[in-house]
Amino acid sequence: MGNKKNVKRCTRRFSSRQLTRQRQLPAKSSSSVTSKIDARAAITTASSVRQSLPSKEKIEKNKKINDVPNRTRSDENLPMDGYTIIQNQILHSLMRQTKCQGCGNVWNGAMTTKKREGLFLMLCFECAAWKKVITIETSPQIVSTDRRDVNVRAQLAGHLCGIRHAGLFKLLGVLNLPSPVQDETYSRWDKQLLEFVKSTSEKSMARAVEDAVATANTTDLIVSGDGFWQTRGFQSSHGAAALLSCTTAPLVLDIETCSKTCNVCMGALSIKKSDPAKYNGIIKSHRCEKNFDKSSGTMEAAAVLNMFKRSVSKYGVYYTKYVGDSDSKTRNILTKNAPYTGNFS
């Protein structure tokens, strides 16, 4: 139980820091987005998400709006791409204050659901006299996909808050909203979302390096770094570290993960004896996640060193000064294995 809490806390810390920083970057064309698994879906998701998901500016603007007391924002225009939670009874009452297009009388009919997928609904309004049904969709479809905007947002929100499907299920339940998409669909989308997030974060970090170089007016950069683990107590099987620019608005320049285990390797162990041929096939063909075999406590230092080693090949820059926390392991390893000269104090 303790571990589970830690996982959530660490996930939240990593995700919110990373994504918040990426959103400080200006949006650019998504024409070069590529995805190995579902290129078309990733491209459309990327462009659609970039156009419609809240940017940092938008979040801050909404925050400012929300910070103003209720009475002074009665004339505030609603963002037309935003959502409004409205109780069905109130929506029905609203309809009863309109005139029916067909019969010309005050609308009087039934409101039903024709289709539902997660938070997305297809609502039908049928006038008792006219018998013609008016159908509306409560969220737009993301171009060239079968996904609805509101469901992709909910899934991203689940990750950012570290609550995932089970947490979303509870949250929506308490809000008396429809349940999220089914677990299987959610897992399938997760894989595509991961490809999109990876692709976007790589491009965002490359832009962050360009910004840092432009600000410093040199390819010799001062960077800060920090590491984090999936679970506490230096026993974690997974850890990561990030390098940030030391500008007035620091941005993530690079991230590196360390894994002491691989889910595919561990899963395949169950058939190692019963079906050795299949086991060997899986082991040979998979992309192993395990890339670290030392103690968890040294993950941060190793990850930072890896990022220093690839700074020239990846970005054409030199990290000439490192600002870290009190963990002296990183400074020691950088000093002993420095890929180029610098002041890693």
Instruction: Give contact residues for Zn ion (rule: CB under 5 A).
Output: 100, 102-103, 127, 129-130, 262, 264-265, 288
Backbone angles phi, psi at 114, to 5 degrees: -85, -35
Q: Cβ contacts of residue 65 below 8 Å, gap of 6+?
A: 73, 76
Q: What is the bridge-based pairing of β-strands 238-245 and 252-259?
A: antiparallel
19, 42, 196, 256 from 37: Cα distances, Å:
22, 8, 10, 22
Beta bridge partners of 112: 124
CB of 281 to Zn ion, least distance (A): 13
Burial 316-330 (b: 16+ CB within 10 A, else e): ebbbbebebeeeebb
CB of 230 to Zn ion, least distance (A): 17
CB of 262 to Zn ion, least distance (A): 3
Q: Looking at beta carbons only, is 173 or 267 nearer to Zn ion?
A: 267
CB of 106 to Zn ion, least distance (A): 9
- Burial of residue 123 (CB within 10 Å: 0-12, 13-18, 19+) is middle
CB of 97 to Zn ion, least distance (A): 14
CB of 285 to Zn ion, least distance (A): 10
CB of 126 to Zn ion, least distance (A): 9
Q: Looking at beta carbons only, is 100 or 334 nearer to Zn ion?
A: 100
3-state class of 14 per DSSP?
A: helix
CB of 184 to Zn ion, least distance (A): 24
Cβ count within 10 A of residue 342: 19
Cα–Cα distance, 155 to 175 (Å, whole number): 16
Sign of CA dihedral 87, 90, 95, 98: negative
Q: Looking at beta carbons only, is 133 or 143 nearer to Zn ion?
A: 133
Sign of CA dihedral 270, 271, 273, 278: negative
DSSP string, 165-186: HHHHHHHHHHTTPPPPSPHHHH
CB of 166 to Zn ion, least distance (A): 26
Q: Looking at beta carbons only, is 255 or 264 nearer to Zn ion?
A: 264
Q: Looking at beta carbons only, is 129 or 143 nearer to Zn ion?
A: 129
Backbone angles phi, psi at 225, to 5 degrees: -145, 160
- What torsion, rounded to 10 degrees, do the Cα atoms 225, 218, 337, 205 define? 40
Q: Looking at beta carbons only, is 27 or 288 nearer to Zn ion?
A: 288
Q: What is the bridge-based pairing of β-strands 133-137 and 220-229?
A: unpaired
Nearest 5°: the CA angle 63, 67, 72 is 125
Q: Looking at beta carbons only, is 91 or 133 nearer to Zn ion?
A: 133
Q: Looking at beta carbons only, is 94 or 129 nearer to Zn ion?
A: 129
Q: Looking at beta carbons only, is 160 or 264 nearer to Zn ion?
A: 264
